[in-house]
Amino acid sequence: MQQKVLILDFGSQFTQLIARRVRELNIYSEIFPYNSKNYDVKNYKAVILSGSPNSVRGNEVLHPELSEIKGKKPVLAICYGAQYLAHFFGGKVGQSNSREYGRAYLSFIEKNNTLFQNIKEDSQVWMSHSDTIITLPKNAKKIASTKDVENAAFKIENEETYAIQFHPEVYHSTDGKQLLENFLVRIAKITQNWTPDAFIETTVKKLQEQIRKEKVVLGLSGGVDSTVAAVLLDKAIGQNLYCIFVDNGLLRKDEFKSVLMQYQNMGLNVKGVNASARFLSALKGISDPEKKRKAIGKTFIDVFDDEAKEINDVKFLAQGTIYPDVIESVSISGGPSATIKSHHNVGGLPDYMKLEIVEPLRMIFKDEVRRVGKSLGIDATLLGRHPFPGPGLAIRILGDITQEKVSMLQKVDAIFINGLKEWKLYNKVWQAGAILLPINSVGVMGDERTYEKVVALRAVSSTDGMTADWVDLPYKFLQEISNKIINNVKGVNRVVYDISSKPPATIEWE
C-alpha cells in the first residue's frame, strides 16, 4: 500500500522542490495550502510544514490547524514552520541581526540524533529567512547550530516533531536529501515504494474507475507529456481512446507528418487534423502574448469539440497537463500569487462543451513523466524530445503572427535543432528553440545594405522547467549555426544567443 507525505504550503517558493525531493526517495507526496480542508490527515504517514515569505511576528500570520498533527504524526517543520512551532508553543522568535540568506555551515550536531544521521558537522545548508528563533519552545532541545544561528534545528521531546531553520530541499543544502531520508524513512518509517511502475499501476486503475466504458478524446501535441498520457490511457481503456493530432500551423518544420506516423506505428487510435488556417485566422492581428495563448487555447477546444462530435457518445477530454503547468497558471496556495503565464491546457472547459476533463499527469513533474514513459516502453527518441510549448511557434514569434513569419522561424529552428543533433549536443540540452524578434537590423550582404529580421537562439538546462540555466554552447557551433541561418533563411541577417537563466527570465520569451 502506498504511504503518503502531506506537505502544508505556506506560500514558499521552495514548496514544489520539497515535493520533488520527497518523490526522488520513491515516496509519494501531496501539497495542500496550509488552511485547506481538502485532505484527511489520517491518510498520511508524515507531515512537512513549508517555509513562507510571511513572518510569525507580522500582522498576517498563517495559522495551520495542527491539533491532529503535532504530537500525533511525525512532523518536519522547515523555516516558517519551525518558527511557527517556536513562537506559538512557548518559545520566542525575533528579527535577525542581519538577513540570513545563502550558504551556512553546521557547527554543531547532537550526537546520535536520527534526523542528522550520516550528516557531518560543517555540512553546507541554505538559509533564507529574516527572523530567527531566539528561545526554543517548551519541552524542546537544540539538535543543530551554525556559526550565526544558535537554534538551527530542534526537536520536541516525547514527540516525533523536528524543526529546522534551513532548507533541505534546495540543491545548496548538500546533505538535504539525506536529512529528508532520515526523517521519512528512519523516523516516520515510510516504505519507499512509489516508483514509475507503481504510478502506472495506480493511475491505470484510477482511469479505469473514472472512465469505465466511456469514450475519451485526447489532443496529442507530439510532446512527451501528451504522448505519455496517451499511452497510459491506451493501457487503461484501449480503443475507447480517440487521439487527435492537430496541425495548428505552428509546429516545427515537417513535424506533423513525422510524428503522426510515429503515433500510428505505436498502435494508438489516432487521427490527424489539419487546422492550420483556422489557428492562423484566430491569431490574425494579435500581438499580446496572453491574448495569443487564450486564442490558441480556445481554438484547440473548438477543434476538439468539432472532432468529438464526429465520435458518438464521447464523455471525456484528456489532456497532458503536468504539475509545472498548474503551478504557473494558478497559485498553488490559493493566495495572491501572480499568474506567470496562462497554459492552454489548464483550466476548465466552456459551458457548451459536454466533456469532462481527465488529466493523468497533472500532479507529476517533467522528469517524472519521462521515467513513467520509459517504464511504459515508449521509444527513447520520443521521450528524449525537448519540451515544446503548447502554443507552438506563436509564442516564439514576438508580435503578430503571419504565415511568412511562421515559415521563416520554422527554417531557422530546423537549422538550430538539426545542428544540435549533428554536434551531439541535443541530449545535453533540456530545451532549445529559436525566437523571431519584432525588430529589423541593418546588415551588409553582397556589398548591399539589408534591413532584415533578428532571431535569438535559446538553449537551457533544467530538470522540470521550474528553474533553468542557459547552456554554454561551443563558440564554433554558434558560429556555424549563425552562418547557416543567415545564408539559408531569406529575411534574416542577424543571430543572437540568449544567456538569461530562469529566474529571473522565463524559458520562453512570451
Catalytic residue numbers read 79, 167, 169
Contacts with 230 (C-beta within 8 Å, 6 or more apart), sequence order: 218, 220, 241, 243, 263, 268, 318, 320
Output phi, psi for 24, to 5 deg.
-65, -20
Question: Which ranges of 238-387 does DSSP label H, i.e. alpha helix?
Answer: 255-265, 276-283, 289-309, 323-329, 366-375, 380-383
Question: What is the bridge-based pairing of β-strands 75-78 and 46-49?
Answer: parallel
Q: How far is CA 380 from CA 224, 245, 335, in A?
A: 10, 20, 39
Cβ 216 vs Cβ 321: under 8 Å: no
Judging by DSSP bridges, how do beta strands 28-33 and 4-9 pair with one another?
parallel
CA distances from 465 to 30, 121, 324 (A): 19, 33, 7
Task: Using only the alpha carbons of the chain, give its radius of gyration.
Answer: 25
Q: Which long-range contacts (CB under 8 A, 24 or more apart) does 377-384 make?
A: 378/227, 378/228, 378/231, 378/266, 379/262, 379/266, 382/224, 382/227, 382/262, 383/224, 383/227, 383/228, 384/426, 384/427
